[in-house]
Structure 1
Amino acid sequence: MFALSSDRGLALAVGGLPPARWLRRLWRAVRRVRIDDIRYPRFGASISTGALLGFVLVYGTVEGGHSDAVVQFVTARTGFAIEDVKIAGNVETSEIDVLQQIGLDGWTSMIGFDVAQARARIAELPWVESVEVRKVYPARLEVQIVERKPFAIWQHGQALDVIEGDGDTIAPFYGGRLASLPLVIGAGADKAAPGIVKMLSVYPSLAPRVRAYIRVADRRWDLRMDNGVTIRLPERNVAAAVRELAQLEEEYALLERDLTVVDLRLEDRITVGLSQEAADAHQDAFKQMMAARKKGARI
């Protein structure tokens, strides 16, 4: 315990030993302070109270996990609110959808805005392959989008989807300018389509006239042409069959004839199906020929 005694001012003893020098100096300094001479600053009590309340508010905000919201609020109202968003690279992606994914509310602060989260939300949009989001101070966001490339329209059942070159589905098809894409039909057509479309693309007399690539039992293809003729391709040696078809079209204008089906499934022969009108005309010609023969025989 400390013992206090008065000897020419004040002496301190601890366990009967003289006090340390620094302790004696401290006590002399305290004795020289005159309470009546202290001058407090004007509004000192108010300032102290405000500082205490501010400290409590900051402490409560941090402990309660609301610091980000407070930063957003303060900085947005001091000139750092996002006022402009520049979006580039989007064709199929709506700007409204992009803005909704960014999540601006009119008072979103540049300082507290999380670019990584915005990028992740925009990347969830179906047409977006990659996206960059950048802050341009004091008040603008720049969004650069790279979209997925549409390859074909895939019909499976009653559904129509836009697909990429690797067969992955992008989004449902609702019409518009994408209607000019190749139409592939049937189970498995989404994954097998790139091969047959590329194969036909080297034959300008055939490719522009194909209206639908129809996958049959996920083994082979039928081609539906613009005049309604169906080309039945084989399961194997497809390239050879397509090449032969192109030669027949160039030399004999095969697809301009009154046909319904050209069957190339057999390697040693080509089978054609006539339209009803052509079949009737052929039948009439045959009957006339047989009647003429009978008449000649009687003579």
Structure 2
Amino acid sequence: MFALKSRQDGRQEAMSGRFLVSAAVGNRIVLPRWLRRPVRALSRIDLDGLPVPPFAATALTAVLFGATAAYGVVLGGHSNAVIQTVTAQGGFAVDDVHISGLRELSEIDVLGAVGLNGWTSLVGFDAAAARDRVAALPWVQSASVRKIYPDQLEVVVEEKDAFAIWQHGSELSLIERSGKVIAPFRGGHAALPLVVGRGAPEEARDIVAMVAGRPVLADRVKGYVRVADRRWDLRLANGVTLRLPEKDVGAAIDDLLAVDARQGLLSRDIAAVDLRIEDRFVVQLTPDAVEKREAALKQRLKGASGRRI
């Protein structure tokens, strides 16, 4: 009897609630047509009759604290660190890094640019940012960084090609064929041509190619010196300097090589050969050669004077 009465009382309260909702809607707000049915459905719910599960308050409190903590993490910008820590503990920590394409760089240089630590997770790791850091290394032409789940990274590097050694003042730098500086010279590239002076890196490609096309001369050249950013001097391994003209350089070199083939000019005791005059060579002797020449002339004069007597 009591249960029946209670149930009926609940129905009456529910009906009263529906009446109040309807009255409130009717007296105050006219709801849109699409919203009327959901409101009616909600008004039929008997909230007093819903069973409350045990520990509901504890669960709601935990949800509230969890939501508050998550909000604080996101607001403070720590979400990535949390993701890294959680996923690393879950088996996604980077355990293997495969690096390929290295010639001049060391793996330590690349790993430092990738930015790993002992608990870096593959899930939150920014591969694009790591690629940009690797590509910014002095020797790197291009780079790619790829994540391989669950715990591997693949780094592929394409390095720049050193074309020449550039001497500017007391400093030495390695340069590309385009003239761009790669990195300071630390040794290990003895076979590369040496170019010297202001403007030399940008203009070196043509003169080096021209000399390389003449192996007889290329084997003797020790350095290419840019003079007043207008022309070149060639320094040979035996100390002879060839002063090249601004124009028609190839023709002047060919004429010199023809004379050298007949007379062995470049093997003599000379300091320089000036090729800037179109129809002749001006040869500068070394100090020792000058002394020998003067002594020979004096001896010749003495011999001539003795014959006159």
* Superposition TM-score, scaled by structure 1 size: 0.85
- Paired letter, 1:129: Q
Q: How far apart in 1 are the matches of 2:66 and 2:37? A: 40
How much does 1:59 deviate?
A: 2.6
Q: How far apart in 1 are the matches of 2:296 and 2:38? A: 133
How much does 1:246 deviate?
A: 2.3
Does the alignment pair 1:141 with 2:153?
yes
Q: How far apart in 2 are the matches of 1:200 and 1:259? A: 21
How much does 1:31 deviate?
A: 8.9
Q: How far apart in 2 are the matches of 1:25 and 1:93? A: 70
Q: What's the secondary structure of 1:292's corresponding residue?
A: helix
Q: How far apart in 1 are the matches of 2:239 and 2:56? A: 94
Q: What's the secondary structure of 2:215's corresponding residue?
A: coil
Does the alignment pair 1:240 with 2:256?
no
**2:91 counterpart residue number:** 79
Match of 1:111 among 111, 119, 123: 123
- Structure 1 residues 134-184: Cα deviation after superposition (integer angstroms, max 9, x where no partner): 111111111111111111111111221111111111111122x12321111
Which protein is richer in helix relative to its size?
Answer: 2
**1:206 counterpart residue number:** 217
**1:40 counterpart residue number:** 53
> Are the structure 2 counterparts of residues 83 and 277 from structure 1 closer, same or farther at C-alpha, using a change threshold of 3 Å?
same
- Structure 1 residues 240-263: Cα deviation after superposition (integer angstroms, max 9, x where no partner): 111122222333322211111111
Q: How far apart in 2 are the matches of 1:263 and 1:69? A: 69
**2:75 counterpart residue number:** 63
Query: How do 1:4-15 and structure 2 match up within 5 A?
Result: 9=12, 12=16, 13=19
Match of 2:193 among 173, 178, 182: 182
**1:89 counterpart residue number:** 101
**1:261 counterpart residue number:** 272
Does the alignment pair 1:276 with 2:287?
yes
Match of 2:235 among 224, 236, 240: 224
> Are the structure 2 counterparts of residues 275 and 66 from structure 1 closer, same or farther at C-alpha, using a change threshold of 3 Å?
same
* Percent of aligned pairs sharing the same letter: 49
Q: How far apart in 1 are the matches of 2:128 and 2:38? A: 57
| Count of aligned pairs | 284
**1:287 counterpart residue number:** 298
> Are the structure 2 counterparts of residues 22 and 70 from structure 1 closer, same or farther at C-alpha, using a change threshold of 3 Å?
closer
Q: How far apart in 1 are the matches of 2:235 and 2:288? A: 20
Does the alignment pair 1:30 with 2:46?
yes
RMSD: 2.8
Q: How far apart in 2 are the matches of 1:25 and 1:157? A: 88
> Are the structure 2 counterparts of residues 9 and 130 from structure 1 closer, same or farther at C-alpha, using a change threshold of 3 Å?
closer
Q: Which runs of 5+ in 1 are unaligned?
A: 1-5
**2:140 counterpart residue number:** 128
* Superposition TM-score, scaled by structure 2 size: 0.83
The answer as to whether partners of 1:205 and 1:250 remain within 8 angstroms in 2 is no
- Structure 1 residues 273-292: Cα deviation after superposition (integer angstroms, max 9, x where no partner): 22233222222222222222
